[in-house]
Structure 1
Amino acid sequence: MKDMTSLAVLIQEQLKPFVRRIDAEAYYAEEFLKSIGKAGFLNSDTGVDFSTEVHVVEEVSKVCMTTGFNLWCHLASLTYIRNSDNRYLKEEILPQLENGQLLGGTGLSNPMKYYAGLETLHLKATKTNEGYRVKGQLPSVSNLGNDHWFGIIAEVSSDQRMMAVVPCNAEGLTLKAKLEYLGVNGSATYSCAFDDVTIPEKWVVSHDVDTFINKIRPAFVLYQIPLGFGVTEASIASIRQVCNKQGGCNDYLSIQPDELERELKRLRTETYKLAGGEGLFQQWKHLLQLRLRTAYLTSKAAHGSMLHQGGAGYLKYSAPSRRLRESYFLVNLTPTVKHLEKMLHHAK
């Protein structure tokens, strides 16, 4: 794992001062996100360092899960290209995404639900001499902007689906900002309408996504788990901050920091073990279980923090209420908890 000293400085100087604006004014921390790449935390020249990337998401999410979520979106876009055989994407676009020149979004909420049998694909692709033409609409894609790219999966026929990464300024693509969420509005989330968008061959990640999806799903899920770790740890700190208030009456609450810490430690140990070895790609069911357990623990910790903080947490933009809203976002982030429960029920 890389040295994290410079990350702590970046978070302190370029993220912490903006957390209130991110939460209250939908401010998008674009320069901070680019600074992570510029500092070398996402470089994969000598192989993907999953442990470092997971840790970066966790540290960012302790301070602001909205920005941690943006980082997850970016890591998802890296995952698509890292696993592709497309030389143009790997040699021209990937280095810029890893070094902070460009940012990426995921665009795979609907396809992941499609592969779990929950939805039909929203995008349709027609084969052309140059590549494909894509039509349809994605209701929400996050971490988008003028110089951003994002992944898409479209149905070509009943037995073929293709995947590509698309720049936000592609002709025929219309983005509309979405700001009506309970929280996480600083995530640069847009609905994306495709009106015969031309996808040249050089943007194509895979012509056979039904096979390719198995290469990218483990990292897609892995990078979400530290979102919960960050919020849970910050919630535990928030609980400890008020343990002696009002004559120690918080001791009588059913949710206590020691039990939260024990479960967080277990989940961390299991997750970093997977991230640091070959098990990530062999233990799909275990990975889904970790993701689900983390979502439930995060909700419990954020709820517990609200109980311990009392009236101080009930302010609209207090840190505990922000983390509560973040925890609700995590349970609804694809794969959602109900999506995970179904997948685990059918997993081998």
Structure 2
Amino acid sequence: MTLDRDLSGWLDGAAPALDAGAAEPAELLRRLSRSGLFRIGAARDAGGAGGALSSAVEALAQVSELSLAAGFVTWGHRTYIEYLLQSPNGALRERLLDGLFVGEVAGATGLSNAMKFLAGLEELQIVAEPEGDGFRLSGKLPWVTNLQQGSYVVAAAVERRDGKPFVASIAHDLAGVERSPDLDLMGMRATATAAIRLSDVSIARDDVIAPDAQAWLPAVRPAFLGLQCGMSIGLARRTLAEARAAAGAGRHVLQPEIDAVGERLAAATRALYDGLDDGSFKGRPAELFRLRIALCDAATAAALLELQANGGKCYLTEPGAGFARRWREAAFLPVITPSLVQLKAALAAQRDAGRAA
């Protein structure tokens, strides 16, 4: 697949403003939605364009080649859509999905905390008390992307004091929902990234995405991490292309390294797409963790090669502006939750458990 030409042209020109916060996050979401991007990989009977999940990851990768800020927003929005597609709550899906496809409502994945909880790395940060036919929620989400001002829904895993944790959809206009100002990020500032605090927020059972988080989260984790990997794939492709273009006279010595990183990137991308489409990652999360690490490593290695291929001009304000943005973007990839450190810790714990057994 190839991105809509109007979208790709706009993203290419808007990338510096999206990074610096000079562009409007709402305009970014409108542009992405207008292209039909969020329908890719969603079933036709749900209003999507059809195709495998890997096609949605590929679309996200192509966005990220032009702007990682746009890729980050795409990931948050499309991942929330995936939650609804995999939810047993058909009424919630029918209520929200059309508005999400066209960008009238922003979808935010607040399940980073939940994925760390699933890996045994963190406790859930929102608790629920039963209240009539619903629940009353309190807690916080310290870092959530695509919280567009005035119209968003965020998914969150919730700890029940009287039973199993569940996953809820929380709308921006519920009493007790407080959004912080946008976080003071070093780059990627036009992503509507903020914190949320919940104070006695009442939700109905109709707002529950999944009543059993521990059973549902492993099933949706491949989409969560797989779509996230699209950011690394896209940035690695772009930085490798920049390195190849610059590795001319006097710098051809870098070509074997550029080719080697490109081969690693292609192999990891194929493995990711195959595992997403055949469903095997549901039973093999460690393999997905390793691919997330490998793709991030490819992106950071490619960024270093772009720097070496271009030399000192990367450190000059005007000619180095594009590289400086991509360098910041590459530095962000290892800390996206779950971070590489957290994934490596989870893999180490699994190895230790295997030895003990």
Fold conserved between structures, TM > 0.5? yes
Verify the 8 A CA contact 2:7 2:35 in the aligned structure 1: no
Mapped to 2, the partners of 1:75 and 1:147 lie a distance apart of: 16
Mapped to 1, the partners of 2:160 and 2:256 lie a distance apart of: 50
1:100 alignment partner in structure 2: 103
SS in 1 for 2:146: coil
SS in 2 for 1:186: coil
Aligned-pair Cα RMSD in Å:
2.2
SS in 2 for 1:223: helix
Equivalent residues in 2 for 1:54-203 (5 A)? 54-145=57-148, 146-157=150-161, 159-203=163-207
Equivalent residues in 2 for 1:1-348 (5 A)? 3-4=1-2, 7-12=4-9, 14-25=10-21, 27-43=23-39, 44-46=42-44, 49-145=52-148, 146-157=150-161, 159-244=163-248, 247-248=249-250, 250-252=251-253, 256-315=257-316, 318-347=321-350
Mapped to 1, the partners of 2:345 and 2:107 lie a distance apart of: 29
Mapped to 1, the partners of 2:132 and 2:121 lie a distance apart of: 33
Q: Counterpart of 1:295 in structure 2: which amino acid?
A: C
Q: Counterpart of 1:215 in structure 2: which amino acid?
A: A
Q: Counterpart of 2:222 in structure 1: which amino acid?
A: P
Could you give the per-residue CA deviations for residues 310-340 of structure 1, whole angstroms, max 9, x where no partner exists? 2322246711121111111110011110111
In the comparison of the two structures, how many residue pairs are matched? 341
SS in 1 for 2:104: coil
Shift in CA distance, 88/125, structure 1 to aligned 2, threshold 3 Å: same
SS in 1 for 2:16: helix
Mapped to 2, the partners of 1:158 and 1:231 lie a distance apart of: 44
Mapped to 2, the partners of 1:48 and 1:188 lie a distance apart of: 29
**Which segments of 5 or more consecutive residues in structure 2 lack a partner in the other structure?**
45-49
Verify the 8 A CA contact 2:183 2:195 in the aligned structure 1: no
Instruction: Tell me the TM-score normalised to structure 1 length.
Output: 0.90
Verify the 8 A CA contact 2:246 2:310 in the aligned structure 1: yes
SS in 2 for 1:151: strand
Shift in CA distance, 87/276, structure 1 to aligned 2, threshold 3 Å: closer
Verify the 8 A CA contact 2:62 2:234 in the aligned structure 1: yes
Mapped to 2, the partners of 1:59 and 1:8 lie a distance apart of: 12
Could you give the per-residue CA deviations for residues 141-191 of structure 1, whole angstroms, max 9, x where no partner exists? 111112111111111127421211112222211111233222222211111
